[in-house]
């Protein structure tokens, strides 16, 4: 369905949110299809609420030790004068010398905290209201509830995971060939890879349901074509993540080229931990399988 270059150029193509439809095969579908990114609104709201609740709890504890009364500030010339307000009926207050700046600051902080506490409660209420009424899958369900025959005629704004994954994996590309005389390792999916660690990484990705392409061609901004060990798909974000494994870091020439390669990725707009990750090992420091599992859980799910 979608037309995508086999060789990607920089990271502006790394998130598949737009595609061009082949008009000959798409029937009456629109020429340019735009897709919604995965919905993260509830995750953002939950995180925001947790932060606000944490702040509110702190404010409640501080309120127990706040001083009585309030503060009036009057500007005189280029300086300020401070007055202690005993109650709401007191509009003038009693002058406080700047020698008692600790008391002045405590009263100012108290007034700020009171306003802050009210606003935090208001925002928590609004978030709860939004979370109770918002259905993050409502748009997806419109397409999901259509019959297969109708789905075939529709270009949805949010592609179901199964279709998205099938299209992503269905793209044809040519990875670097492994010469017949060279040793290789076979993954659980029957792929030939160049090292035992690459085999372990590939099998771990497969076991954890992370889609990947081995030695998928990318063109960096310096014009150099690279074939990273793995281009993985984070299905939660629908972003591709390059995973390079560097297996001979204790070799000086290899390490020098490794640094140049990493810098080339960074110069091309790849961001460590978002669109680029790497693993390392040397002859005396083999990689820990637990480290591979952690990387998958942290960066690819």
Q: What is the pLDDT of residues 37-70, one digit of tens each?
A: 888 899 999 999 999 999 999 999 999 999 999 9
Task: Give the angle 288-299-139 at the CA atoms, nearest 5°.
Answer: 150
Cα 270 from Cα 297, distance rounded (Å) = 20
- pLDDT of amino acid 222: 86
Residues 289 and 195 in one domain: yes
Among 95, 117, 133, the domain boundary falls at 133
Whether 142 is in a domain gets the answer no
| DSSP assigned state of 137 | T
- pLDDT of amino acid 33: 62
Residues 64 and 112 in one domain: yes
Whether 18 is in a domain gets the answer no
Whether 9 is in a domain gets the answer no
- pLDDT of amino acid 209: 96
Residues 192 and 293 in one domain: yes
Q: If the chain, 301 residues long, is cut into consecutive pieces of 10 residues, what is the mean pLDDT of each piece?
A: 44 42 38 73 96 98 96 94 94 95 97 98 98 92 93 89 90 86 91 95 97 96 93 94 97 96 96 96 94 97 92
Residues 174 and 226 in one domain: yes
Range of the domain at 45: 41-133
Cα 178 from Cα 191, distance rounded (Å) = 11
Whether 116 is in a domain gets the answer yes
Residues 273 and 212 in one domain: yes
Residues 124 and 170 in one domain: no
Residues 105 and 190 in one domain: no
One DSSP character per residue, 214-282 reads ET--EE-TTS-EE--SEEEEETTTTEEEEEEEE--TTSHHHHHHHHHHHHHHHHTT--BTTTEEEEE-B
Provide the token pair at 137. Answer: 């899958």
Cα 186 from Cα 203, distance rounded (Å) = 10
Work out the number of other CB atoms within 10 angstroms of the CB of residue 270: 22
Residues 180 and 258 in one domain: yes
Whether 3 is in a domain gets the answer no
Number of domains in the chain: 2
Whether 174 is in a domain gets the answer yes
Residues 173 and 117 in one domain: no
Whether 21 is in a domain gets the answer no
Residues 64 and 171 in one domain: no
Whether 259 is in a domain gets the answer yes
């Amino acid at each position: 369905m979608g037309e995508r270059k086999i060789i990607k150029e920089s990271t502006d193509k790394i998130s598949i949110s737009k595609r061009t439809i082949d008009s000959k095969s798409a029937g009456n579908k629109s020429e340019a299809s735009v897709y919604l990114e995965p919905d993260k609104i509830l995750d953002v709201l939950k995180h925001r609420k947790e932060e606000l609740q944490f702040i509110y709890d702190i404010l409640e504890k501080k309120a127990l030790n706040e001083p009585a009364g309030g503060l009036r500030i009057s500007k005189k010339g280029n300086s300020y004068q401070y007055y202690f307000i005993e109650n709401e009926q007191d509009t003038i207050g009693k002058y406080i010398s700047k020698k008692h700046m600790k008391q002045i600051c405590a009263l100012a902080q108290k007034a700020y905290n009171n306003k802050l506490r009210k606003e935090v409660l208001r925002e928590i209420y609004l978030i709860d209201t939004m979370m109770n009424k918002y259905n993050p899958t409502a748009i997806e369900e419109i397409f999901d509830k259509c019959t297969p025959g109708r789905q075939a005629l529709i270009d949805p704004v949010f592609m179901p995971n199964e279709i998205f994954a099938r299209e992503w994996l269905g793209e044809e590309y040519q990875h670097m060939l492994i010469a017949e005389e060279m040793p290789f390792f076979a993954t659980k999916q029957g792929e030939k890879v160049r090292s035992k660690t690459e085999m372990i990484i590939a099998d771990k990705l497969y076991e954890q349901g992370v889609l990947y392409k081995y030695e998928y061609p990318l063109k960096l901004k310096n014009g150099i074509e690279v074939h990273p060990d793995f281009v993985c798909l984070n299905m939660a974000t629908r972003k591709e993540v390059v995973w390079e494994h560097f297996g001979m870091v204790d070799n000086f020439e290899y390490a020098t080229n490794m640094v140049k390669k990493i810098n080339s990725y960074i110069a091309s707009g790849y961001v460590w931990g978002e669109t680029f990750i790497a693993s390392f090992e040397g002859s005396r420091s083999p990689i820990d399988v637990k480290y591979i599992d952690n990387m998958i859980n942290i960066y690819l799910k």
